[in-house]
């Protein structure tokens, strides 16, 4: 068997520690994370892109499954019917590309956005529209916004969080 990507579950809020454990085992890992702007200056400024998960690249025949099952700060590989589910290289490359794009744009996710806050859509098909923040889409980098349309009607749209910026005064 050859090396493949797999998804490693971390224990709650332990992604950093699980990533260090994987590196200590000399296993290739990718831990996608991004900067966030928080209200509390003591809060974590970097958050996982996929809370509770990171990617590992290994040959399971050589490494063994038990390495991940008993690794401190980890809860094992994501499995379906007891079989570790490989992730295609292009999926990991796509995630890597998206996280890099967000990071290189210099934009940070606004962690303090509350329902009803005004935002500006600066990219994508709805560029230059103003909208109202509704909610984050759980487990993704997407947000749900409300756009005001003709005659006061509003529609709900879901966009990549990197496409918006807060219009709150700093």
| pLDDT tens for each residue of 30-65 | 999 887 766 566 767 788 888 899 999 999 999 999
Residue 162: both structure tokens together: 């990197």
Determine how many CB atoms are found less than 10 A away from the CB of residue 116: 9
End-to-end Cα, the chain, rounded Å = 53
User: What is the predicted pLDDT for the residue at 79?
Assistant: 92
User: What is the predicted pLDDT for the residue at 110?
Assistant: 56
Statement: residue 139 has pLDDT above 60: no
| CB distance 3 to 57 below 8 Å | yes
Determine how many CB atoms are found less than 10 A away from the CB of residue 10: 24
| CB distance 132 to 141 below 8 Å | no
Q: Please indicate, yes or no, whether the overall pTM of this predicted structure exceeds 0.75.
A: no
Nearest Cα to Cα of residue 134 among 157, 153, 111, 151: 157
| CB distance 120 to 167 below 8 Å | yes
d(CA 12, CA 52): 6
| Domain extents in the chain | 4-104, 113-166
CATH of span 113-166: 2.30.30.30
d(CA 122, CA 161): 11
CATH of span 4-104: 3.30.70.940
User: What is the predicted pLDDT for the residue at 26?
Assistant: 95
Q: What is the DSSP letter of 94?
A: H
């Amino acid at each position: 068997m050859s090396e493949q990507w797999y998804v490693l579950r971390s224990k709650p809020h332990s992604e950093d520690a699980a990533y260090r454990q994987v590196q200590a085992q000399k296993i290739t890992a990718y831990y996608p994370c991004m900067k966030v702007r928080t209200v509390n200056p003591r809060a974590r400024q970097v958050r996982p892109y996929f809370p509770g998960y990171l990617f590992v690249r290994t040959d399971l025949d050589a490494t063994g499954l038990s390495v991940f099952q008993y690794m401190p700060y980890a809860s094992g590989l994501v499995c379906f019917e007891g079989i570790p589910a490989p992730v295609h290289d292009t999926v990991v490359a796509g995630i890597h590309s998206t996280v890099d794009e967000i990071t290189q744009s210099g934009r940070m996710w606004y962690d303090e956005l509350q329902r009803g806050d005004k935002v500006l859509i600066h990219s994508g098909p709805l560029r230059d529209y103003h909208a109202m923040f509704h909610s984050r889409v759980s487990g993704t980098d997407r947000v749900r916004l409300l756009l005001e349309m003709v005659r006061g009607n509003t529609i709900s749209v879901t966009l990549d969080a990197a496409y918006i910026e807060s219009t709150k005064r700093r």
